[in-house]
Amino acid sequence: MKYCYRHNLGFILSWCLSRASLLRQTPPMIAIGLRKCFSLKFKFLYFSLQNKVLHQSKAFFGYTTKVNMAKLISGKDISADVKSAIKTKIDEVRQTVPNFTPGLAIVQVGDRQDSNVYIGQKLKSATEVGITAKHVKLGTDISESALLTIVNQLNEDPNVHGIIVQLPLDCNTAIDSDLVTNAIAREKDVDGLGVVNAGRLARGNLDCFVPCTPRGCLELIQSPRGAGLASLAGVSAVVVGRSKIVGSPMAELLTWHHATVTLCHSRTKDLAQVCRQADLLVVAIGRAQYVKSDWIKPGAIVIDCGINSLPDSSRASGYRLVGDVDFSEAKSVAGAITPVPGGVGPMTVAMLLRNTMEAALAERDKSLAGQTWKLSGIPPVPKVPVPSDIDISRSATLKRVDQLAGEIGVLPSELEQYGHHKAKISLKILDRLSSAPDGKLTFVTGITPTPLGEGKSTTTLGLVQAFTEIGVNSCACIRQPSQGPTFGVKGGAAGGGYSQVIPMDEFNLHLTGDIHAVTAANNLMASAIDTRLFHESTQSDEALYRRLAPKDKPFTEVQQRRLQKLGIDKKMPSELTAEEARAFSRLDIDPATITWQRVIDTSDRFLRDITIGQGPNEKSMTRRCKFDISVASEIMAVLALSTSLADLKQRLGRMVFGLSKSGAALTADDLGVTGALCVLLKDCLKPNLMQTLAGGPCLVHCGPFANIAHGNSSVVADQVAMKLVGPSGFAVTESGFGSDMGFEKGMHIKCRSSGLQPHSVVLVATVRALKYHGGGPKILGGGAPLPDEYRRESVDLVVKGCENLAQHVAIVRSFNLPVVVAVNKFGTDTPAELEAVVNAAKACGAADAVICNHWAEGGRGADALARALMALPGGSQLGYLYSLDDGLEAKMTAIAKRVYGADGVQLTDSARQQLDRLTELGYANLPVCMAKTNFSLSDNPSLAGRPTGFTVCVSDLRLSAGAGFVFAVLGSISLMPGLPTRPCFYDVDLDCETGEVLGLM
């Protein structure tokens, strides 16, 4: 350490050693002080000795010249080092995360000049280090509620990592500043003034944001360029001032760094005497030059946090800045001291920047999604016999969905809660996690099922629960159930037994209303079609155009797209010629070509063929049409395949509902309805978060049927799940029905359009289904009893039925993907039957085959399946069975031969005409979605096993231009299910006292 003296200190010390009476110190004490002078442990003794020796030497020699003993602790220099380190760290992180940019928001109410100066310094310093800072300046008349709204908006902004509210508030209204600062989210409270961060600091939990000034003071004390006091253990520290911004948190910070701390204030008795005992004195009392030199222990470290202005006519400003310590006196007594200005002030700004960077790094760590989740939750202990699904669901320990979201790395700003146990996840999460590596994507599919189902959803959830219990990040992605099957034949679709999504009643009933929104959007478009038919038939060209495009109003965005399609580049309705106006306003819809139907989410057979337009005001414009089930709407398929709102809007706009009389394809854009559809669906694009019985995440999103649509949950749900689980985790997504149905469409349509790359495939098989495919009697749904063949051992039937299993294994392998067969164990299965399935699966090319009992045992029952997937090497590249450049017939033929095992396809005359028309219109390069029975590999539901020597009949071709595929109907496929004699709704009821739903399966 360098100190400025007028005479050589060594000479003075040597002279004083020979005259012990002058020093009033024993020679051994002086020797110790000199020997340990550069040791932190003896720093205060060293400072004290130097001051005593020098002062007594001055008295002895009669010196009168003032000597400055204190080391000046430069906050400017140390803060520059801190800011340089922050900039270096930000640049370093950007090497791996290019879009890493810490964001700071400074909220100011009013226009105080001193606040403007402070904020200007913060903004300038933030820019220097690479932090994006924005100044939110508000008027003096802002209300408390409006200010809280702004703070909450900043809390939800993923680009803002730190928020400070500049105090004091300069306003004309009554605003509780504590309420405002406490409204800042804990993880963004970089000022450390919120109750959560303050409470953590008070309890000694330093995993918090420490207020900037105390943190800056600690840096000045410990930095080698500051006081150099690296260890505070045993140091006697006095803090003068008890404000929540500086004094109190400073005392707590020093305490948890093992100093012995006394917290004082203006009413402390014998304050000067208390201060004189301090090896470390921190002053933040807000009084100019309050602490004098005789308050300071010789050699003590003095940190002056005050900043006050005193009149000074010699200054151009008319004032000068001073601290709470009388610096001119104190510097001759203290061992080290901070000046004012240039001491603590610059450090406060530097610590604000450091806290902001650390907040951004903490979010970055969540974004990397590589750490293992710490999931809470207590799954129910399996009972024998297994209770009903609803009873198991109710016995589970449910946690709040916001807690689950936090455990898996979803930020509060990315979560939109619907009650306590379900929520939507904003797609902003994909922007935040764009640099994070993807997890492994596993598709779950099955062999050809019986009407009772073989448990794909149950296996999906059991597998995810198994991963959870092993400690591997995993998220299920399943479709949302339709109300039609829930109240009709099938019942609920939340999994079953001890492998479920919970709460299963909320899962099966409404959820977050996505299907209702699809219904509303679909029917809005249906209404728009018939309304346009009506108005075009009842109005003149001039009247129609005048109403569609008022002359003083510019064309809307969707109308401009209609004009572009027609090759018209004009902005105002008055600019169009009569011919252009007619082309714009008349769609000339050919009613016979309309393919767009109305939908309802109820199984209602009497809506399969209806007549509309029979009201007295519709001028006899009747038309035959029908209702489909809501999940059969093209809008559901569009929703499931969209990757963003912009993509959704584009897909909706290009949906084709029919042809003009001249043969041109007519779209939602032509109708002008695209924007309205997008508005109805904007929230539906966000996946729904629920939980499994093991307390793990499950994303429930979209519900296109697998026999009449592409049968997979949404692309965005898979994308979100893959980002959240991290590179070592598994996103497990389910495809509807067998691998010839949802899986094939998942590969050719979902993965192809999105670029998703599967890691592995789980193929679910059951002894019951294999017995049926081996020649067993027909299995009926609707609660009919199983024939005896399915209740007693019959290995021969199982072995014969494994031909069906072999074909499904071959289907998966044809896409160049590894497959693990999950033999879903039922209570009637025997060891010999199960062993036969495992052996057959391995013999026909499965990477592995395991017996699963997750229905009865939960995650533990799928442990072997989880470990089999973890053992797969990965790295397989998805291959397709046809090129998009192939014609539509060639694509259908490839699927028929390589997936179904057919000899080829046969098109009816009408289907061939439709094929030719679609090719003419330019849609031949789309993939094909084959709509067929799910009960057979063929198009004939009665052909079980692995049929051969057949062709599939294509009876109809339809266009789903928005979804991006051509819809091929094989045989007779109904898009509207009917209710059985005894529907499931007989069992559903409500307990009016408890509010509990009864009777769901």
User: Do the beta carbons of residue 221 and residue 78 sit within 8 Å?
Assistant: no
3-state SS, residue 738: strand
The residues, ordered by sequence, that sit 6+ positions from 881 with a Cβ below 8 Å of its Cβ are 748, 814, 815, 894, 895, 898, 899
- As a whole number of angstroms, the distance between CA 147 and CA 175 comes to 9
Q: What is the C-alpha to C-alpha distance for residues 494 and 501, in angstroms, rounded to an integer?
A: 5
**Residues constituting the chain:** 1001
User: d(Cα 829, Cα 791) in Å, to the nearest integer?
Assistant: 8
User: E strands within 312-370?
Assistant: 319-322, 336-337
Q: Tell me how far apart the alpha carbons of residues 90 and 130 are, in angstroms, rounded to a whole number.
A: 7
Catalytic residue among 122, 366, 440, 800: 122
920: left (phi over 0), alpha (psi -120 to 50) or beta: alpha
Q: How many CA atoms lie within 13 A of 545 on its CB side?
A: 19
Alpha-carbon span 360 to 101, nearest angstrom = 8
Instruction: Report the alpha-carbon distance of residue 857 to residue 448 in Å, rounded.
Output: 25
Residue 503: cis peptide before it, omega within 30 degrees of 0? yes
What's the rounded Cα separation, in Å, for the pair 363 and 353?
Answer: 15
Separation of alpha carbons 986 and 998, rounded Å = 11
Tell me how far apart the alpha carbons of residues 405 and 762 are, in angstroms, rounded to a whole number.
Answer: 27
Cα distance between residue 118 and residue 403, in whole Å = 38
Residue corresponding to tokens 């964001």: 103
* 21 to 24, 35, 57: CA distances (angstroms): 5, 21, 12
* Separation CA 355–CA 358 (nearest Å): 5
- Is residue 586 left, alpha or beta, with left meaning phi > 0 and alpha meaning psi from -120 to 50? beta
Do residues 158 and 366 make contact, with C-beta atoms less than 8 angstroms apart? no
Residue labelled with tokens 């004082």: 264
From residue 666, alpha-carbon distances to 591, 612, 959, 966, 977 in Å are: 12, 21, 12, 16, 29
Closest to 296 in 3D by CA, of 272, 267, 266, 263: 272
Q: Which of 583, 658, 666, 669 is nearest to 623 (CA)?
A: 658
Rg over alpha carbons for the chain, rounded to the nearest Å, is 38
Q: Is 41 among the residues known to form the active site?
A: no
Q: Residue 977, Cα to own-chain centre: how many angstroms? A: 36
355 near 88, Cβ under 8 Å?
A: no
* Alpha-carbon span 590 to 662, nearest angstrom: 9
The structure tokens 């979100």 sit at: 720
Termini Cα distance of the chain: 79
Under a CB-based contact definition with an 8 Å cutoff, are residues 812 and 763 in contact? yes
DSSP string, 232-253: -TT-EEEEE---TTTHHHHHHH
Tokens 């996690």, residue located: 433
In angstroms, the CA 772 to CA 85 distance is 70
For the chain, give the longest Cα–Cα distance: 125
Q: Give dist(CA 719, CA 779) in Å, integer.
A: 38
Contacts of 583 (CB under 8 A, 6+ apart): 566, 568
3-state secondary structure of 443: strand
Catalytic residue IDs: 122
